[in-house]
Amino acid sequence: MRLAGAAIAALIVSLTLAGEARADRWHTVAPHQTLRSIAKRYGCSVAEMKQANQLDGDRIGAGERLIIPECDDDDRPRKIELVDGQSIGKPWHGRLVKPARLADGRGYHIRRSYRTYGATHVVGYVTRALAEAHKKFPKAHVLAVGDLSQKSGGQISDHHSHQTGRDIDIGFFYKKKPAAYPDAFVTANDSNLDCEKTLGLIERFAASQGKPGGVKMIFLDFGVQGILVRWARDHGWDDDRIERLFQYPHGRGSSDGLVRHEPNHADHFHVRYNCPPDDDRCE
C-alpha cells in the first residue's frame, strides 16, 4: 500500500502521537536499496519499518521517502561490517569501488550529498558516532557533516585526501548556531565553541580507536585543541584522559595523542579510518 499527500501527513501525526515514529526522521530510498538494508542501517527490524510506513510487502522504490521509527534508542550496538576491496590505495592517492553511502539522519546535515560515499566500515562507524552524539545531546543544534569521498573515489576539489572513502570532515557544536551553519563550516573560537558538546562528539569518533578498521587519526587545529583542553581541565577531566586524546598537552610537534594539528582545520575536524584487516589493496 502507498500513501500520498494528506494521507501521509495524517499518518505522520498519528504515529508521532503513538510514540512509534517522528515526523523529522526520514530516509530517501537510493537505487538498489532494500527495506532490509535500510532497516539494518537504522537499527530497526523489517517489521518495525513496515508498521511505521503502513507497508503490506517489502517492495520499495528509489526516491520513496520512508519514516524511520524510534527503534534505535536502545543500547544495541550497530554491527560494523568490514568489506575488502573497496578502499584502494592511500587516502591521498587512490580510489573507491562499490562504496557504501552515508544516509541522512537525525541531528546532522550533509553538506554535499554527492560526496557521501565511503568504505562500508567507515560509514558504519560514522553513523554510530553521529547517532550516539545525538542521543547524548538531543537538544543540540544540527551538526554539519562535510565530505567523505565521491562515488568512485579519486581526487576532488578542496581536498588533498578523501580519495579512498576513509576520510570525513565533521563540524563543531556552538553555543549558538551560527547563521551560515550547517551549510558552511564556521571557525571556532573561545567565544562561540560549545566545548562540552564538541568534546563529547570527538570522543564518540575516538571510541573506535583500536577496533578493526577503526579511527586512525583525527586532525584539528592546534589552537582549537587548546580551547578544548583548557575547558576539559577546568571541568574535571584527568590528565590521562586528555593526553590520550589530544596532541596539545605534549606540544605542536609531538606524535602523542589521537587528535593532531593540521592547518586549515579550525572550522571542522577531519577523521581518518584504518583499512580493514588484511585488505592488501588498501594502504
Report the mean per-residue pLDDT for the chain: 88
- The CATH number that domain 6-69 falls under is 3.10.350.10
DSSP assignment of 108-169: EEES-GGG-EE-HHHHHHHHHHHHHHHHH-TTSPPEEE---B-TT-S--TT-SS--SS-EEE
Tens-digit pLDDT profile for residues 227-251: 999 999 999 999 999 999 999 999 9
Angstrom distances, CA of residue 251 to CA of 24, 70, 92, 247: 43, 44, 26, 6
Q: pTM of the entire structure? A: 0.76
Q: Report whether pLDDT(165) > 50.
A: yes
The string of pLDDT tens digits covering residues 40-63 is 777 788 888 888 888 988 899 999
Q: Could you tell me where in the chain the CATH 3.10.350.10 domains are found?
A: 6-69
3-state secondary structure of 39: helix
What residue spans in the chain does CATH classification 3.30.1380.10 cover?
Answer: 87-273
**Fold observed for domain 87-273:** Muramoyl-pentapeptide Carboxypeptidase; domain 2 (3.30.1380)
